[in-house]
């Protein structure tokens, strides 16, 4: 062993511990019993009764659940798993179970009671009672249908009064609902009344009134109502679109009043003004202001000269003097100028339409240019079609010639094969004789 140890002493991770361990014999002082007080194994005990020192041993939490609280939490739950198939078969019809919760309340002795307390509830409203009865009748109908289906499957035919009882209960509940509905008009009745009064074809809506029978509503529908309704919607949309075009300044028949409040012309003017203010320098603004001042001064002088000339003409006419032919020419020019001034409002009204008109004219010019070249393009296409048809004819003729050559080659090959077969037979005969 010492030699073995010396031999493997240089190897790493060599375990020098003994292979067999011996435990000392038990004495009266040494005991293997667990120390500490015993724990209670009762299901109703508090599962927090562990020592404070246990939290420090190995970081293990010894807290356990409380079955009483868990049982009280799930006690109201009620699961109906009848006729439920939990298998994984492919052909099986999937049917889930029904889960519901029962009502529970605490008694005076702090105990809980589960079940239906509808008989004990004196403050249950009529609506809740009707809902409960309706739900119970639906459950009875479902159960009755299941039983009838089972009887049909089993081939049993037994007379029972359960169906009559269910029908009588349903009629009784419907009568109670109708009597209650006569007092308070439902939303469906109001809707039917509104439809009957709003949509007429052969007369007003007929409402049958009876003492104890449910009210029935007959709604008549006119086929022309849908068309008129669609036309009304189209007219409303057209009016809104026209108003929008009028506000934006896109209408071609705008009057002088709408042009001043149009949105697009105003935005165009504002954009021009802002671009002038942002792009121009102070020196250019000063020069522009000086030019504007000179133009306004010249316009004022021209207006004053026109007024003075008009006053002189009036004075000459009042004096009875004759005007020279030059005055006639001046008056003609003045009339032309006045006519131009008269057309200025019309030109200003047409100013918002000029951009769109120019765009349309440009598009029309492009269309006319394409139309001018369309005939040439068509001629080219027709010429190419003729050339393609000629090429196709040539290809067809070539294919026919190739097919004829192939047929001739097949016939020649067939003849050659027959000749070769004769030669082979002669050789076989000669070989057999040898």
pLDDT averaged over 10-residue windows placed end to end, the chain, 434 residues: 61 72 66 50 46 53 76 78 74 69 64 58 69 83 83 68 74 69 51 46 41 47 59 81 76 48 78 82 83 90 88 80 56 83 82 82 85 86 94 94 94 93 92 86
Could you count the other beta carbons within 10 Å of the beta carbon of residue 249? Answer: 21
∠ CA 61-67-69, nearest 5°, is 100
The radius of gyration of the chain's CA atoms, rounded to the nearest angstrom, is 56
Give domain limits for the chain. 98-184, 247-357
Q: Half-sphere exposure (CA, 13 Å, Cβ side) for 347?
A: 6
β-bridge partners, 106: 112
Could you count the other beta carbons within 10 Å of the beta carbon of residue 265? Answer: 20
* pLDDT at res. 387: 94
Per DSSP, 185 falls in state -
Residues in the chain: 434
SS3 216: strand
For the chain, what percent of residues have pLDDT higher than 70? 62
Tokens encoding 15: 């375990």
* pLDDT at res. 144: 83
Q: At a CB cut-off of 8 Å and minimum separation 6, what does 134 contact? A: 173
* pLDDT at res. 377: 87
* pLDDT at res. 320: 66
* pLDDT at res. 43: 45
């Amino acid at each position: 062993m010492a030699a073995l140890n010396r031999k493997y002493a240089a190897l790493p991770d060599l375990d020098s511990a003994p292979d067999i361990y011996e435990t000392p014999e038990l004495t009266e002082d040494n005991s293997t019993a667990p120390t500490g007080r015993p724990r209670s194994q009762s299901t109703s005990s508090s599962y927090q009764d562990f020592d404070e020192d246990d939290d420090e041993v190995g970081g293990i939490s010894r807290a356990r659940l409380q079955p009483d609280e868990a049982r009280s939490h799930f006690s109201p739950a009620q699961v109906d798993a009848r006729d439920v198939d939990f298998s994984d078969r492919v052909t099986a019809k999937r049917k889930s179970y029904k889960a519901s919760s029962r009502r529970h309340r605490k008694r005076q002795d702090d105990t809980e009671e589960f079940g239906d307390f509808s008989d004990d509830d004196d403050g249950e409203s009529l609506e809740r009672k009707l809902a409960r009865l309706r739900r119970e009748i639906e459950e009875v109908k479902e159960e009755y249908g299941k039983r009838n289906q089972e009887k049909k499957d089993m081939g049993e035919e037994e007379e029972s009064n359960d169906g009559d009882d269910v029908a009588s209960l349903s009629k009784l509940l419907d009568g109670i609902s109708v009597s209650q509905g006569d007092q308070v008009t439902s939303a469906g009745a109001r809707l039917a009344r509104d439809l009957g009064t709003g949509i007429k074809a052969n007369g007003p809506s007929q409402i049958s009134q009876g003492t104890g029978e449910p009210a029935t509503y007959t709604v008549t529908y006119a086929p022309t109502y849908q068309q008129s309704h669609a036309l009304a919607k189209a007219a409303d949309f057209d009016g809104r679109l026209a108003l929008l075009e009028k506000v934006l300044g896109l209408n071609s028949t705008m009057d002088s009043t709408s042009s001043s409040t149009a949105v697009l012309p105003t935005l165009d003017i504002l954009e021009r003004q802002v671009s002038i203010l942002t792009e121009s320098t102070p020196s250019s603004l000063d020069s522009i202001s000086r030019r504007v001042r000179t133009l306004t001064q010249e316009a004022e002088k021209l207006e004053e000269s026109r007024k003075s000339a008009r006053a002189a003409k009036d004075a000459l006419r009042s004096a009875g003097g004759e005007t020279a032919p030059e005055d006639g020419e001046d008056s003609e020019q003045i009339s032309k100028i006045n006519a131009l001034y008269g057309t200025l409002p019309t030109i200003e009204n047409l100013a918002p339409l000029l951009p769109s008109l120019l765009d349309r004219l440009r598009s029309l010019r492009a269309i006319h240019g394409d139309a001018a070249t369309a005939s040439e393009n068509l001629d080219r296409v027709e010429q190419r079609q003729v050339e393609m048809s000629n090429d196709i004819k040539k290809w067809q003729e070539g294919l026919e010639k190739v097919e004829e050559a192939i047929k001739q080659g097949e016939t020649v090959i067939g003849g050659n094969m027959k000749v070769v077969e004769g030669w082979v037979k002669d050789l076989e005969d000669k070989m057999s004789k040898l």
